[in-house]
């Protein structure tokens, strides 16, 4: 499936920002057998004093920008075309959950995509007993790892309420879990914590999700959204799978990957610092248009 993507993120500052540094993870990834970036560019207004494009440890495309001149507004615009490759559902050849530690013990490599990086607590995801208790209520040792991943994802979808006003980008996962309210970032962080608590390596995926309007209704410009979901390592034979707990489904051709990491901190679309005073407002528009 071929998609055209348009993203615009605008910041308005109550007082001019005298300087700023930002790391942008906005450009869709090229992933062999999954997704291909056909073309893409990021434009910034005002133009930065410095710009550098690189790949981080996990292979994500990062654009580093520096602003040294005073500015009251900052706008990031992405235009891209992506070919999302349709793959059939795989047979579940993952091992029983109780056998996963043995498979993990046989992996000695430390490449960025290896499961060893996704088992332990990470900067935004300290583990807590509540996650393990919840996960253990919904799985048993004889289940396949894939079945366990799906069981926890479906349980969270049932027990959590999607609520855009319940949390902020900095809300701890445990707090969102205790409230049982949150957004896709919270759903994903909670699911990752639950999976790691029972020994399943799990990571965070940032990207775009194509939304389909109700029958007979036009697609609204800017109504699509950046999204987040989970990837889980399910054994040597099957490797990584991706699951969207916000929507209780395996990730497919409507999900477009931008960045992967241990948690939101590794895949945040915009991260940085600036020198200013007072409040700021943000406007976020996304279009995901199938071709």
DSSP 245-268: TTTTEE--TTEEEEEEESSHHHH-
Give CA–CA dist 104/235, Å, rounded. Answer: 8
Q: 162-219: per-residue pLDDT in tens?
A: 998 999 999 999 999 999 999 999 999 999 999 999 999 999 999 999 887 767 766 5
Helix (H) or strand (E) holding 77: strand 71-84
pLDDT tens-digit readout, 215-238:
776 655 555 778 999 999 999 999
Q: For residue 213, what are its two tokens?
A: 């309007």
Using an 8 Å Cβ cutoff, are 28 and 208 in contact?
yes
Whether 47 has a pLDDT exceeding 90, the answer reads yes
Architecture of domain 2-85+269-290: Sandwich (2.60)
In the chain, what are the domain boundaries?
Answer: 2-85+269-290, 97-265
Q: For the domain 97-265, what is the CATH code?
A: 3.10.620.30
**Global pTM?**
0.94
User: For position 280, what pLDDT does the model report?
Assistant: 87
* Residue 147 burial (CB count, 10 A): 17
What pLDDT is attached to residue 147?
Answer: 97
What pLDDT, on a 0 to 100 scale, did the predictor assign at position 277? 83
How confident is residue 86, by pLDDT bands cut at 50, 70 and 90? confident
**Least confidently predicted of 50-64, 109-123, 219-233, 276-290:** 219-233
Residue 136, pLDDT score: 97
- Do 2-85+269-290 and 97-265 have matching folds? no
**Dist CA 250 CA 63 (whole Å):** 30
């Amino acid at each position: 499936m071929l998609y055209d993507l348009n993203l615009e993120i605008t910041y308005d500052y109550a007082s001019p920002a005298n300087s700023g540094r930002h790391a942008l993870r906005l450009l869709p990834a090229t992933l062999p057998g999954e997704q291909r970036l056909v073309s893409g560019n990021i434009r910034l207004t005002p133009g930065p004093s410095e710009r550098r494009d690189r790949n981080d440890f996990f292979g994500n495309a990062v654009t580093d920008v520096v602003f040294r001149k005073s500015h009251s507004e900052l706008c990031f615009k992405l235009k891209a075309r992506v070919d999302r490759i349709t793959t059939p559902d795989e047979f579940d050849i993952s091992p029983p959950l109780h056998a996963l530690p043995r498979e993990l013990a046989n992996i000695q490599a430390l490449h960025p995509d290896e499961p060893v990086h996704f088992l332990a607590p990470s900067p935004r995801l300290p583990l807590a007993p509540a996650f393990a208790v919840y996960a253990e209520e919904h799985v048993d040792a004889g289940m396949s790892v894939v079945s366990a991943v799906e069981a926890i994802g479906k349980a969270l979808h049932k027990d959590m309420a999607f609520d855009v006003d319940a949390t902020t980008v900095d809300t701890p996962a445990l707090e969102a879990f205790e409230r049982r309210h949150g957004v896709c970032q919270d759903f994903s962080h909670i699911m990752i914590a639950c999976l790691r608590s029972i020994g399943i390596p799990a990571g965070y995926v940032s990207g775009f999700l194509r939304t389909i309007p109700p029958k007979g209704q036009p697609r609204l410009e800017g109504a699509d959204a950046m999204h987040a979901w989970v990837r889980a390592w399910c054994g040597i034979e099957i490797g990584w799978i991706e699951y969207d707990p916000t929507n209780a489904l395996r990730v497919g051709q409507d999900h477009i990957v931008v960045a992967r990491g241990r948690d939101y901190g590794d895949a945040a679309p915009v991260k940085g610092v600036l020198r200013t005073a007072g409040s700021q407002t943000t406007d976020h528009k996304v279009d995901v248009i199938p071709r």
